[in-house]
Structure 1
């Protein structure tokens, strides 16, 4: 079997996690790491002595690599990814793919022209619990989905180049699109800049999906507790996914409200409140990033599209742009263009 030669660009917070997985996957051969920070390179070199390290990512183009993983600040994603694609390298780039839909479209077009894999690190699409959540929704066990509520808050990490929406919301937007299998038709956001006057550190994101499904996301760098939770309320049952919970990540609640047959009384509304059992499905856990990295390798070797491809990243950026416009201007609910609502290829959960 062919072993993919891979380089990692960016050795800050996330790059070493990518590197660790590529080192451990038999189908990959991690060759080199590039980062501007010499201290980070020394850290990587100490852990992986055989790696070539450099402060200039252009040096990687001389090593005969097949692919690169980019984990640099989002403002640099477009230029570095474009450079790598132009040098014939397959690219895995962290979220968000770029900070503008125009730049994302350029990368998608370039990858298509060169017949190269362009993949975005929407890691939760590879999370076994999130995949189980999607399967539960698709099975109809919850009934008609009424609404989804997500919370992604913690104390930090504050960013100075982008607001909390661009930092954290890509996770929730990609999860919502994935589990609902649809594109939002309207977007809105509000928030506050509590610490730095020009950078929002807390935001509330509203997404309206087809079939009257609404979703609400609370994201913040300014919260006393780390929370990563998704609640899905359906006509039959309800579900809570807690990513912080080490073992029992999903709980299905047989709870709901049912209308009773019409009566001729003048009493209260005739509703029946149902309180049933709580079911905790058994989910076999595998590190999502390991699955993501393997999907990238398989995509390159087998010439198949990855789960979170460039178009997936592009759609998330388009939604982020509208949400950010709403956040900055306070103009509320904005509609996505018709072609964006209906023009997406099939969402899949491979």
Structure 2
């Protein structure tokens, strides 16, 4: 199988390294001549392109797109039209209109479309999904995500589109449905035209609540997911790569119970290899990816609803 990596920037280079290790990398597209020349020296057997259009005319089976988000739709649509399967980094597109068009085009052409919602391929998240589905948490009351650090601020997209998209994909995957109601507030502490901190509250069918707190301006790194249910609380610490079950709850008589806590799973800090291996397998088996186009459309639609809620809250 031959995959051309389109984009060799900060994240694209990681995709390139992993595709190479998986034995699937056949070419690289990069508009920066210095980067392209560096790959030419170290990878004489690869096909190198300064323009993605030339790569789509090659005999590659698939492409992996890691370019700026505004370019995703055009490149992915062209790749599908050229008969290529497509892996595209998150967020899939900058609008739900483009997202729906892209997903529909892939389905109509019979092409694999997979979106780089990286943390869905973190073994800890898959384990939590199975744990919930097996009833180990009882009735799930709420899911809370925190993604906070002194991050790389952007001016083109707010923090929820930049890094909060990871948690949005996880929440929708764990709950298995889009939210019925969305509320949000944002803060522009850095003087940008976009929010550098966002708080989100989501309400799902069945009474499940979701909360997200995302910020580029935070004194310490905090990346965790917390679930509360009728049989206790589950905390996934993404930094430590541990999942801890706190067997603490309040019964119907309002009596507190504390049966201690234990680490019930230890995760893997390198999900990108697993993600790209899944893409390769889906292409070879012609099977639908875990993070397919349809699921990514719901993520984009929810992000748009959050943006609207944040904008509405800023009016008051």
TM-score, length basis structure 2:
0.95
d(CA) in 2 for partners of 1:192, 1:39:
38
The verdict on how the C-alpha distance between 1:228 and 1:46 changes in structure 2, with shifts beyond 3 A counting, is: farther
Within 2, Cα distance between the matches of 1:187 and 1:304?
Answer: 32
- Return closer, same or farther for 1:192/1:185 CA change in 2, 3 Å cut-off: same
Q: Which of these residues, 5, 8, 12, is aligned with residue 9 of structure 2?
A: 12
Aligned ranges for residues 105-184 of structure 1 at < 5 Å?
105-184=100-179
Residue 250 (structure 1) aligned with residue 243 (structure 2): yes
Distance in 1 (CA, whole Å) between partners of 2:188 and 2:269 is 37
Gaps of 5+ in 1: 261-270, 333-350
Find the structure with the greater CA-based Rg: 1
> Cα deviations across residues 186-240 of structure 1 (Å, max 9, x unaligned)?
1121111111341111001111111111011000111111111011111111110
> Residue 33 of structure 1: which of 28, 37, 43 is its match?
28
User: Against the structure 1 CA distance between its residues 160 and 197, is the aligned structure 2 distance closer, same or farther, given a 3 Å change threshold?
Assistant: closer
Q: Once the 2 structures are TM-superposed, how far is the Cα of residue 284 of structure 1 from its aligned partner?
A: 6.0
Matches within 5 A, 1:1-350: 4-26=1-23, 28=24, 30-246=25-241, 249-260=242-253, 271-283=254-266, 285=268, 287-330=270-313
Deviation at 1:52, TM superposition (A): 2.5
Q: Over aligned residues, Cα RMSD in angstroms?
A: 1.7
Distance 2:265 2:299 in 1: 30
**TM-score of the superposition, structure 1-length normalised?**
0.86
Distance 1:139 1:146 in 2: 16
**C-alpha separation in 2, matches of 1:37 and 1:114:** 32
TM-fit CA distance, 1:136: 1.4
Do the aligned residues in 2 keep the contact of 1:16 with 1:44 (CA within 8 Å)? no
Q: Distance in 1 between matches of 2:146 and 2:218?
A: 11
Check the 8 A contact 1:95/1:121 in 2, yes or no.
Answer: yes
**Contact conserved, 2:148 with 2:220, CA < 8 A, in 1?**
yes
- In 2, Cα distance between the equivalents of 1:16 and 1:303? 26
The alignment partner of 1:222 has SS state of coil
Number of aligned positions between the proteins: 315
